[in-house]
A = this chain, B = another copy of it.
């Protein structure tokens, strides 16, 4: 905090609060917020019903409120006063802090300022230690085992949604925590041309391309993989695209090592596809960091000058998309080592035939 000129941070329930305190909350409409100061003071604001599992456990001042929302502003004011943040520069997480809690903070401490603190928390969370990498590796293993079990039952005639439901079942059965990192994508035929497709009631046809993007969660840490399959015989252009995407992925892996800008990994993948004349068909960045969240820093887009460090974990997932026709994406999870990078996933990357008896 000191290095960023902040006197405190205000955290909503989520991965950073879990990382710092081990507490998870089921956040709904009632405000829940934790304050931490550079001097080491802490305070928690929570509904009365969270008292049993926080009183005596949360390391700081505790401010509970009952069912009447009119008491919220007063409780926020007391908490900010207790930790001495009523006139401070306070860091917040831009994708976690909600309008409700921000307005309560602003009302309770009109002279404080609230600033994006993505970097402060990223500093803490991006370099994974060995135990964290092991959780991620297990989340990869669970995802891979679940996919194999799912592929064994995929047949023409099933819908994308049915395949996705089976995959969710298998993820849980193989040991994923129920809170999956994201709902699996199962995109068949032309739907695979949409990088963010959601499973539809489209029925799988013989000869279809099927793209699956899925992940598991173990001890809070996630995995995130993508593979492409074909229900029968692949078309020659699909094999060509898949080989290109594999090459792009290998090129990205080859440059990932400590000291290299994140953008360079993206450019390495992009260059392979551009040189083959497919630049405009690669619609997104090459990857994103992952850990307690499915998407977290570092983000692998061309302009990102952030230098890679040992322990960073991210996806490498180039893809080619042909609207109305189909798409190919191959996604693996890698960890930056002292020398280069290590791929945590083990599944084959090529276009694989499925659905045979």
**A residues within 8 Å of B by Cβ?**
24-26, 28-29, 47-50, 52-53, 67-68, 70, 92-100, 102-103, 114, 116, 164-165, 168-169, 172-173, 178-180, 182-184, 193-198, 283-285, 294-296, 299, 301-303, 321, 323
Contacts and interface: CB of A to CB of B under 8 A. Distances in A.
B182 A178 contact: no
A103 B97 CA distance: 11
B165 A196 contact: no
B100 A102 contact: no
A196 B303 CA distance: 44
A197 B50 CA distance: 9
A106 B349 CA distance: 45
B94 A97 contact: no
Residue from the set A29, A50, A68, A114 with the largest chain B CB neighbour count within 10 Å:
A29
B67 A301 contact: yes
Nearest to A178: B168
Contacts of A53: 194, 196-197
Contacts of A296: 29
A28 B295 contact: yes
Contacts of A68: 301-303
A301 B65 CA distance: 13
A195 B51 CA distance: 10
Question: What 5 A-B pairs come out closest when comparing CB atoms?
Answer: A67-B301, A94-B100, A97-B99, A52-B194, A67-B285
Contact of A24 (B99, B198, B323): B198
A343 to B, nearest CB: 23
Contacts of A26: 182-183, 196, 198
Nearest to A296: B29
A67 B196 contact: no
A99 B94 contact: yes
Contacts of A164: 178
Nearest to A283: B49
A180 B178 contact: yes
24 contacts: A29-B95, A29-B296, A48-B284, A49-B195, A49-B196, A49-B284, A52-B193, A52-B321, A52-B323, A53-B197, A67-B284, A68-B301, A68-B302, A70-B303, A94-B99, A94-B100, A95-B99, A99-B102, A102-B102, A103-B116, A165-B172, A178-B180, A178-B184, A179-B183
Contacts of A184: 178
A265 to B, nearest CB: 13
A48 B94 CA distance: 21
Contacts of A48: 283-284
A196 B95 contact: no
Contacts of A67: 284-285, 299, 301-303
Contacts of A321: 52
A238 B179 CA distance: 32
Contacts of A299: 29, 67
A301 to B, nearest CB: 4
A323 B52 CA distance: 8
Contact of A98 (B98, B169, B303): B98
